[in-house]
Amino acid sequence: MINKPHELLVHLSLLAIFFTAPACMAQRTSASAKTAAPTVIVDTQNYIAGTQVFGGDYQFTDQSLLVEGASQLLDMGSNMIKFAIGPGYTKHHFVKQEDPRIQTLTDLAKQRDYKQVFDMPFSRYFLWTYCFSTNEQVTPFHGHMAKQTLANEYQEMYDLTKYLLTTYNGTGKTFYLGNWEGDWGLNSGAPPAEHKWETEPNSDAPTGMIDWLTARQRAIDTAKRDTPHKDVEVWFYVETNLVQKSIKQGRVSVASAVLPFVNPDFVSYSSYDSTNPGLDMHHTLPAALDYMQSKLKPKQGLPEKRVFVGEYTSLALYQTPNEQDARMRDIIATGIKWGTPFVIYWQLYGNTDKGKPPEGCWLIDTKGVKLPVYYTYQHFYADAKLYIAEYVKKNQRQPDDKEFHDYAYKWFTSPNTKNDSGAWVSKPVK
């Protein structure tokens, strides 16, 4: 935690030592690339904890929500961001008006607001990625998918991957292309149960979903093979959201019936069936992560544990701001203890049904007030960067993944203290 001016000066000096060399290397690589990438200083450290920008019900500037939200995350100190790319780009208020010239994912990636965010100094982008050419043709899943649909899906994903690898060659950026809560798609077309999470998918639904996801993974793999690139990466992920029913009842889910046949680069877990209030989260979350990890085969060049928490939240409506913050810290720490590579909070600005009281799944509320959860992220990033700078100065290398996971776990589980804003923040971890 940084509270005094002289501490801030020391912090900035150490960060300058730490980041100058990587920045220079990124600029040299960029300058020699066939397609010059934006000259940008990118902090490639994985800080594990992050958040996302989706259709918030409010904002505070005349910019698009995507640009405003991304700017807020940079101000907070984050180097990762999650948002969507695909036909629904105006639904989430990412862009204010539809552009009829945008017909593909690559077209949208070049659009002014998207390009502005892709050029910002984020090192990790998590993207719900849906193709224009197969819009409304993918679900409901019933048996094998039509060959032309698969061909269109493959080509559009291939082209986007090639564009990202070429445009951001040498920048240190990594892009994760995936889907939103895949179990709803698996269940689509099945007779609905009283509660949608109890719906049982049609027996031939996994076949179609496997076809779709396999085409997407293959497109990314082939584009990476075909496209010369360095210091830039694209990975594929599959997101699940109904895992506990497979663990507890042996029922069909994406985790049980799809993951083993696709073996994606990563798995994202929208974790509400393990992390909602009232659940024994310290047991259910690790159990779910273990279950999904058991469905994956090792992949060269990827970490052993490839399942991350793609969504969780802590709602302000049902608790005090400090209780919300404590819950959020606990979930992050539980994920880190298991070894997950990322834990991503829903979200920067709140979204809820119109006309209802806001539930408070936010870091910044409707009046622009930054909640304790915001300051927790801000202070974690500042403290973590100071820790890394000091570690590099002492050891002449960055901490490895285990060392940083250990640091982050101690930070999120350490005793808290109030700063001048009234937010609860962790005491520095030595």
Domain ranges of the chain: 42-54+61-343
Q: What confidence score (pLDDT) does residue 39 get?
A: 55
Task: Calculate the alpha carbon distances from 144 to 140, 326, 358 in Å.
Answer: 11, 46, 41
Can you say whether the dihedral through the CA atoms of 252, 256, 262, 265 is positive or negative? positive
Bin 362: left if φ > 0, else alpha if -120 < ψ < 50, else beta.
beta
Q: What pLDDT score does 353 carry? A: 59
User: What is the DSSP secondary structure assignment for residue 29, as one 8-state letter?
Assistant: H
Using a cut of 0.75, tell me whether the model's pTM lies above it: yes
Q: What is the tens place of the pLDDT at every residue in 320-377?
A: 999 999 999 999 999 999 999 999 999 999 986 566 778 899 999 999 999 999 999 9
Amino acid at 163: Y
- Residue stretches of the chain with pLDDT short of 50: 1-37
**pLDDT confidence of residue 355:** 62
Cα 302 from Cα 263, distance rounded (Å): 12
Measure the CA–CA gap between 280 and 121, rounded to whole angstroms.
38
Tell me what pLDDT residue 345 has. 98
What pLDDT score was predicted for residue 55?
81
Candidates 3.40.50, 3.20.20, 3.30.70, 1.10.8; CATH matching 42-54+61-343: 3.20.20
Q: Which two tokens stand for residue 235?
A: 């990975």
CA 267 – CA 305 distance, rounded (Å)? 10
